[in-house]
Structure 1
Amino acid sequence: MQLLDWFVLLITLLAIVLYGVWKTKGSTNVEDYIGGGRKSNWWTIGLSVMATQASAITFLSTPGQAFHSGMGFVQFYFGIPIAMIVVCMVFIPIYLKLKVYTVYEFLESRFDLKTRTLTAILFLVQRGLAAGITIFAPAIILSAVLGWNLTLLNFIIGVLVIIYTVSGGTEAVSVTQKQQMGIIFLGMFIAFFLILQYLPEDVGFVKALSIAGISERMKILDFSFDLSNRYTVWTGLIGGTFLMLSYFGTDQSQAQRYLSGKSVRESQLGLLFNGIVKVPMQFFILLTGIMVFVFYQFHNTPLNFNPAAEKAVLASPLSQSYLELQENLHTVQNQKEALLLSNVNSLNTVSAELKELETSEKDIREQGKAYIKQADNQVETNDKDYVFIHFILHNLPVGLVGLLLAVILSAAMSSTASELNALAATTTIDLYQRNQIEAKDDTHYVKMTKWFTVGWGGIAILVACFANLFDNLIQLVNIIGSIFYGNILGIFLLAFFITFVKSNAVFWGAIITQMIVLVVWWLDWLPFLWLNALGCILVMLISMSIQTMARSKTLKN
């Protein structure tokens, strides 16, 4: 990185933090600090909701997902519009009518304190883990690529978020997220159009799509019912809808964004805006990954995009074999480039040859991963999360590198801030305040929320420091959510629609369901998206069965 990149990066991040602190200083009551003053407009809510979901993982992992596997991942988001409509029609009117600070307050009025507490704890566990991952994701990748100290990066990201989240609470998060989303959109659009400029003169956007299509990267829809396939239309529409319903309807990190709306209509419009824009946004990010893929059809790539993996194997006795394999890869890539350039107007005539070369390239990469594993079994060989950052650092002009790194860190800060804000609010309102014997004033609860924010920030930093890379970071966050979200959603659906089910049945139904879902996930019996539907259906059926048995027993007596 050049001096200008450092300047752009530091100025961008400091401006966001200082603006958030200045804009929201002086929040001394619970209404302002946790409820955001209940004065947010729909566009603030919409951008804040989007920024909460669009973590750094989105901008690091999603392009790499498209680079390796194509556009099929967009099907994961097909449930969002459906979920937005349901949340707007059912959840928001009830929450705002009750004027709750957290969604779990509603559960006590419908069931009892122990059900409210259990659900809040389930949220705290999964969101506390996810907050650590949203810090860890950009930190480990930037650490590997730039050589920065991983622990220091985790600490810097966490502390920056804690500063403005503590200073202004919910409003600070919402205000800064508007600026962060502006930077994110600007950076991604610039990167996309620069990639198109970097393609060979005869390869425009349409031909680039054709090249990606021949390599089977443009297959968007999969209507198969193969349970081993993670991303199909059905997993998106069914499993994805359950996941998004739970995420947007029962996850405090999202609910807190629209609970700050100044009216039901503003909150609904904000969520509908997110529902309309989110799928196209993810499509665009995936398409950026596709363009990176096409770019690398005309430029040589490393055998593995993870610098730490390459460093490990090159420091081992296998270094010479690995370097020879790298040369073999470049030979295949040069052949592919020559074939594409000479047949750019008749790609279909050479599709079989291109597929054969791509198979050879894939085999070479797999052999490279095997060498890396032999050299150091602890190093991550899955390099999906490193593809886009490699492109940024090695191909973008000075200044824009700093801007794109600011995009990644801004996304990490925006999603982490929402999570810490929600974790602290839930801890204060649902656990601390609810169990106080003597009532305290607003100043006390605001102070405690700030301390809980610091505490959860510290826990998130610790999780980030001890986390390990999974198959793909964006999948890891969604897997963590899927383990808990279905159960939580089922509890809320019981509260909304199944009036004969009482508190004890729901409480024990939720505990049994969570144990079953954990077993199903651990034994890998279902793709993780289906865990959302499984958890939701199970808790409802088990709770209704327990209630029915209890009623039968009462009638007999």
Structure 2
Amino acid sequence: MTSLDLAILVVYLGGITAWGAWLGRGARGGEEYFLGRRDLPWVVVLLSVVATETSTLTFLSIPGIAYGGSLAFVQIAAGYVLGRIAVASWLLPAYREGRLRTAYELLEARFGTETRRLTSGIFMITRLLADSVRLFATAIPLTLVTGWPLIASVLVIGAVTFIYTFIGGIRAVVWVDASQMALYLAGGLIALVVLAGAVPGGWPEILARAGEAGKLTVIDPSLDFGRPYTLWAGLLGGAFLSMGSHGADQLIVQRLLACRDLAASRRALVGSGFAVLFQFTLFLFVGLGLWAWYDGAAFVRADEIFAGFIVEALPAGVRGLLIAGVFAAAMSTLSSSINALSSTAAYDFWAASRPEADERRILRVGRIAAVAWTALLVAAAIGFIPLSEESTAVEVSLGIASLVYGGLLGAFALARFSRRATSRSARIGILFGIGSVTAIWIGARAAVAWPWFVLIGTAITVAVGLLAGSRRGAAASE
């Protein structure tokens, strides 16, 4: 990395940290710190949602998917749009009516504190595991360009992100996310331009070669449940995955609760689906360009392909900008995870058993939790076993989340639409749903691909919750 690249990176990291800390200055209570006074502009929240859910996995892993396959991953993104529309219709109104602070308060109103804490705890464990993968993946390019040990790279990313997240709260997280998304999208566009000049014949030649190799396939109508990127896995599996991630995951719900009203929340949520569709398409095309530039050479880890291109092929200055884009992508998700995990710890566990807790005390507890969660995320990333040759980080992270989203989404479905389910039957349904999908993941991964996990988990959770419940128990719980 040249002096110019290093200067760009240092200025970016210093500037974004200072700006984020300034944005959230003066927070006086938990609701202001975690929900930004519920007055954040929906466009900024939209960009933050996209930056949070995709981040480094989009920047580094999606090109690797196209490199080794085709454009069929777009089918998943199409399902994401459908899932967001469903959440905007049946879950967002319930969240907005009660001025909730976390997603899992909605379950407490129907099933009690134990169910709230169970689902919140599931969210915490899942987010810790999935986002440690993201942090690990982001440390790879930093290690490549600096020569630092992987542990040092993880520590630098974690420390810089923690500073502005700890000081600034959700307002800093959301506004910084929006700016970071613009940066890493610019990095993707720059990569397309550079690849056009690096490959003889430019994009016409890249697309011609990709077409001959079958890499321009977008729609795969196959009914093979073992294949992850088919039309049905994309539309149905992607829709349920999006409903789970955007309707039952505090990481995203927290942002939607910070909008000014229900209409703004809906615009941010549904609009983010179309933004993700564009973003995935952009980075899939980057993957096609890399495939042509490397002439289809084999790589041990798909996530290193784009990182290697940044190091090897880009000129000074441009390289520094794209490395900053990698950091931007990582920091957007890590900061969101720290803040969301802290909010659930403060509200769902500490304050839920202390009716006398005021907003100032909740703020103090939340900031202590932020320190603890940052340490756990960094430690998990350091201890993470390197990815296998067959999977990219995006597939590993989405696979981990898909194991539990069905159980969480099924619980919300029971709370909203069933009078028969009880607190006990809902918890049994959640455990059966998550347990069944985990068993499939362990023993039948080749037969059932990960995009189907949320749909299967939701169906099992709802079915078991209804069967284990009773009308008398439902009436008593109400």
Question: Please, what TM-score do these two structures have when normalized by structure 1?
Answer: 0.82
| Structure 1 residues 551 and 445, CA gap change in structure 2 (3 angstroms) | closer
Larger Rg: 1
Q: Which amino acid aligns with 1:499?
A: R
Which range moves more in the overlay, 496-505 or 532-541?
496-505
Which residue of structure 2 lines up, in the alignment, with residue 345 of structure 1?
none
Q: 2:422 aligns with which of 475, 495, 502?
A: 502
Contact 2:406–2:434 (CA under 8 A) maintained in structure 1? no
Contact 2:422–2:473 (CA under 8 A) maintained in structure 1? no
| Distance (Å, rounded) in 2 between the aligned partners of 1:156 and 1:145 | 14
Which residue of structure 1 lines up, in the alignment, with residue 400 of structure 2?
480
| Distance (Å, rounded) in 2 between the aligned partners of 1:272 and 1:543 | 29
Which residue of structure 2 lines up, in the alignment, with residue 88 of structure 1?
88
Question: CA shift at 1:146, angstroms?
Answer: 4.2
Which residue of structure 1 lines up, in the alignment, with residue 319 of structure 2?
401
Q: Secondary structure at the match of 2:420?
A: coil
| Distance (Å, rounded) in 2 between the aligned partners of 1:30 and 1:549 | 38
Which residue of structure 2 lines up, in the alignment, with residue 15 of structure 1?
15
Question: CA shift at 1:65, angstroms?
Answer: 1.4
Contact 2:92–2:262 (CA under 8 A) maintained in structure 1? yes
Q: Secondary structure at the match of 1:35?
A: helix
| Structure 1 residues 141 and 187, CA gap change in structure 2 (3 angstroms) | closer
Matched, 1:527 2:444: no
Q: Which amino acid aligns with 2:31?
A: E
Q: Which string of whole-angstrom CA distances, capped at 9 and with x for unpartnered residues, describes residues 105-144 of structure 1?
A: 0111111111111111111110111221121111134325
Which residue of structure 2 lines up, in the alignment, with residue 148 of structure 1?
148
| Distance (Å, rounded) in 1 between the aligned partners of 2:6 and 2:370 | 29
Contact 1:141–1:385 (CA under 8 A) maintained in structure 2? no
Question: CA shift at 1:54, angstroms?
Answer: 1.7
| Distance (Å, rounded) in 1 between the aligned partners of 2:338 and 2:131 | 7
Q: Which amino acid aligns with 1:56?
A: T
| Distance (Å, rounded) in 1 between the aligned partners of 2:394 and 2:256 | 24
| Distance (Å, rounded) in 1 between the aligned partners of 2:124 and 2:206 | 45
Question: CA shift at 1:295, angstroms?
Answer: 2.3
Following superposition of structure 1 onto structure 2, how do residues 48-127 of structure 1 map, counting pairs within 5 Å?
48-127=48-127
| Structure 1 residues 549 and 269, CA gap change in structure 2 (3 angstroms) | closer
What fraction of aligned residue pairs are identical, expressed as a percent? Answer: 31
Q: 2:385 aligns with which of 450, 454, 468?
A: 468
Contact 2:131–2:397 (CA under 8 A) maintained in structure 1? no
Q: Which amino acid aligns with 2:402?
A: S
Which residue of structure 2 lines up, in the alignment, with residue 348 of structure 1?
none
Q: Which amino acid aligns with 2:187?
A: G
| Distance (Å, rounded) in 2 between the aligned partners of 1:228 and 1:109 | 39
Which residue of structure 1 lines up, in the alignment, with residue 435 of structure 2?
515
Which residue of structure 2 lines up, in the alignment, with residue 341 of structure 1?
none
Q: Which string of whole-angstrom CA distances, capped at 9 and with x for unpartnered residues, describes residues 3-60 of structure 1?
A: 0000111111221111000121111112210111101111111101001012212111
Q: Which amino acid aligns with 2:373?
A: W
Q: Which amino acid aligns with 2:224?
A: D
Which residue of structure 1 lines up, in the alignment, with residue 364 of structure 2?
447
Q: 1:282 aligns with which of 276, 280, 283?
A: 280
| Structure 1 residues 388 and 508, CA gap change in structure 2 (3 angstroms) | same
Contact 1:166–1:453 (CA under 8 A) maintained in structure 2? yes
Matched, 1:545 2:467: yes
| Distance (Å, rounded) in 1 between the aligned partners of 2:124 and 2:393 | 20
Question: Please, what TM-score do these two structures have when normalized by structure 2?
Answer: 0.95
Q: Which string of whole-angstrom CA distances, capped at 9 and with x for unpartnered residues, describes residues 468-514 of structure 1?
A: 22321110100110100011000001111122222121112212222
Contact 2:64–2:392 (CA under 8 A) maintained in structure 1? no
Contact 2:117–2:348 (CA under 8 A) maintained in structure 1? yes
Gaps of 5+ in 2: none
Superposed CA RMSD in Å reads 1.8
Q: Secondary structure at the match of 2:377?
A: helix
Contact 1:135–1:464 (CA under 8 A) maintained in structure 2? yes
Contact 1:38–1:259 (CA under 8 A) maintained in structure 2? yes
Following superposition of structure 1 onto structure 2, how do residues 41-52 of structure 1 map, counting pairs within 5 Å?
41-52=41-52
Which residue of structure 2 lines up, in the alignment, with residue 128 of structure 1?
128
Q: Which amino acid aligns with 2:114?
A: K
| Distance (Å, rounded) in 2 between the aligned partners of 1:243 and 1:296 | 33
Contact 1:78–1:233 (CA under 8 A) maintained in structure 2? no
Question: CA shift at 1:418, angstroms?
Answer: 0.7
Following superposition of structure 1 onto structure 2, how do residues 384-463 of structure 1 map, counting pairs within 5 Å?
384-436=302-354, 439-463=356-380
Question: CA shift at 1:524, angstroms?
Answer: 2.4
Count of residues paired in the alignment: 470
Question: CA shift at 1:70, angstroms?
Answer: 1.8
Gaps of 5+ in 1: 306-380
Contact 2:403–2:454 (CA under 8 A) maintained in structure 1? yes
Contact 1:62–1:285 (CA under 8 A) maintained in structure 2? yes
| Distance (Å, rounded) in 1 between the aligned partners of 2:443 and 2:146 | 37
Contact 1:424–1:452 (CA under 8 A) maintained in structure 2? yes
| Distance (Å, rounded) in 2 between the aligned partners of 1:296 and 1:130 | 30
Which residue of structure 2 lines up, in the alignment, with residue 215 of structure 1?
213
